[in-house]
Chain A
Amino acid sequence: MSDNSVPTLSVDHLSVFIDKKPIVCDISLNISVGQWTCIIGPNGAGKSTLLKALAGILKSEGSISVDGNDLRSFSEKDRACWIGYVAQDPVFPRGMRVFDYVMLGRTAHLNLLASETPLDTSMTESVLRDLDLMEFSHRDVATLSGGERQRVAIARALAQASPFVLLDEPTTALDVGHQQEVLELIDRLRAEHKIAVISTMHDLTVSGMYTDHLVLMNHGKSSVSGTPHEVLTPEHIKIHYKVDVDIIDNAGFPMVLPRRTLQ
């Protein structure tokens, strides 16, 4: 990874088949570091499947490349140096301490049978400090609350130090306060650490408030993409979510307000 060039993740005509059924069809995206791209769409649209394909968990057709190099020809280790991934419902193994969990992020930078170096330890420590998690470092990850878990999972992705980070529904399980805290954290880290965030999200209003670029997926296809103002319109939402909404201006952000029709 050279520091002087800005790496770009190019997704070209990407399709994912599960049991020969197309779940993701012909998606093309270009993502540069520093951006926050958000995949929205109704349930079953293929959002999580797309992220899993980008993360290398699922096989895909088409190309996923960074600066012209196809990521699928990379080893697991090299790919993980480029792309980090936080699952929708990450596994928090019982009895694993926060420090050890976050240090798992250093795997991509270590040979298979090597032990962590002092550099890995100090990087883990600085991530914990940055995310205000030092007082948790001895806690068992399985005993953390929802908001703490999300921060710890993000800390692990930061310790991985990959320029592209995939976040699958980072705020699903959180109340409105913790949701905002986590989103502000992601926003700050993306600017400070110069990383590109690609997330899926359910809450349309929130996705419009935090992200630069929205991709509305439905039936595995990218239907509309652009800025939040371009994508979040009553017409698009009517077509893809089959619901009537009003779009209200909320301090410059589009706010999606569902309309209830009483019969």
Chain B
Amino acid sequence: MHTATATRISRKTWVISAVAVCLALLVGVCVGAVSIPPADVLAELGNHLPFVHHSNNSSLNSTIIWQLRLPRVILALVVGSMLATAGCSYQGTFRNPLADPYLLGVSAGAGLGATVAIVSNHSVAHWVLPIASFAGALIAVALTYSLGRSALVGRSSTALVLAGVAVANLLTAIQTLVQQRNAEKIREVYAWVLGRLNTAGWGDVRLVTPYIAVCLIVLIRYRRVLDIFAVGDEEALTLGLPVNRARAAVIIAASLGTAAAVSVTGLIGFVGIIVPHILRLIVGNSYRVLMPLSLMFGGVFLVLADVIARTALAPQEIPIGVVTALIGAPFFLYILGSRRSADLT
């Protein structure tokens, strides 16, 4: 007798994911220039459970855990979740498994916005960066969206992605120009462009978490809608989906979340492609499964990538964006090479 059910995340998968997130956090806090035994970390966390930031953090370990490791690890978790979920969302709305915040020019726009903010102000207040990034990302996505829609009659995802590539190149060129004309600030911009988690403090976490949380909640609620996009705009419309409105909502939420992430950590690439892709190989293509898992494993991925960044060449640190690119670029080429062209439409 056959039983039929909808695809959903099994209890086993939920447990595995939750365990993976906890383990990644633990590893992230333990490993570093000074390694701290997991038992001490757990004891320290246990001390603070009822009221965080409460009592005796006089010991060195306590300071390292609370002031250095934990904000950094949590920022990596939040930003990784956002980038992977945004990538997954773009892939769904554009029916293109290679879509990514980069492909659509969103990151470039956010980068340009932040660069302009850095060079135009001698001591840029830290809260200006996210707003400048938001503005840049929204301008980029608006450009991509309107170019893609006007380029061809009808609604073609391919046109949108091509428009995104053009917009990304244009904005990157403008960013380079801005940098060239402001050579004295170039170090500051470069440090930011390469991606950074090393200076993360609770301030950064507090700054971006509200934005990212809202965007993630919106995107997760659209997971069923992303599955409808899979049958194409025409059929989705006849199934009763307000295609343009739903697509705009997903793109805006994903872009705002990406901008918030980019504004504090700089450009961290490939998370939005690597994480959803590995998950696709394991759990299939259903977005109602992929979206929550991308959220969790995106965080896990970036926390572990950051561990590599600060231990591989210790005592020096590799910029986190370099680590994800070193893992991600070959992986991206592998996907390009192994997937048949039919899968990429």
Q: Give the B-binding residues of A (Cβ under 8 A).
A: 19, 52, 55-57, 75-81, 83-85, 87, 90-91, 93-97, 99-101, 103-105, 107-108, 110, 112-116, 121, 124-125, 128, 134-135, 137-138, 160
Contacts and interface: CB of A to CB of B under 8 A. Distances in A.
A91 B230 contact: yes
Interface string B273-289: 00000001000111000
A56 B237 contact: yes
A237 to B, nearest CB: 32
Contacts of A79: 240
Contact of B235 (A77, A85, A96): A85
The 10 lowest CB-CB distance pairs between A and B, nearest first, are A80-B240, A95-B285, A108-B240, A137-B4, A93-B230, A85-B238, A77-B240, A107-B239, A134-B2, A91-B232
Interface in B213-254: 221-222, 224-225, 227-228, 230-232, 234-235, 237-243, 246
Contacts of B343: 94
A187 B322 CA distance: 62
Given A80-B238, A85-B238, A96 B2 contact: no
B83 to A, nearest CB: 23
27 contacts: A55-B238, A75-B242, A76-B243, A77-B241, A80-B238, A87-B234, A90-B235, A93-B231, A94-B343, A95-B285, A96-B230, A100-B286, A103-B6, A104-B231, A104-B239, A105-B239, A107-B240, A108-B239, A112-B225, A113-B221, A113-B224, A115-B224, A124-B4, A134-B4, A135-B2, A137-B2, A160-B239
Nearest to B246: A112
B7 A99 contact: yes
Contact of B238 (A57, A99, A112, A128): A57
B121 interface: no
B64 to A, nearest CB: 42
Given A93-B230, A121-B5, A135-B2, A76 B285 contact: no
Interface in B112-168: 153
A96 B287 CA distance: 10
A90 B240 CA distance: 16
A84 B238 contact: yes
Contacts of A52: 234
Contacts of B6: 99-100, 103, 116, 121, 124
B240 A76 contact: yes
Interface string B3-45: 0111100000000000000000000000000000000000000
Given A99-B7, A115-B224, A91 B242 contact: no
B342 to A, nearest CB: 8
B214 to A, nearest CB: 14
Most A CB within 10 A of own CB, among B228, B230, B284: B230
B239 A96 contact: no
Residue among B237, B238, B242 having the largest count of chain A Cβ atoms under 10 Å: B238
Given A93-B230, A94-B285, A77 B7 contact: no
A81 B239 CA distance: 8
A52 B234 CA distance: 9
| Of listed B2, B243, B284, residue having the most chain A CB within 10 A | B2
B234 A113 contact: no
A57 B240 contact: no
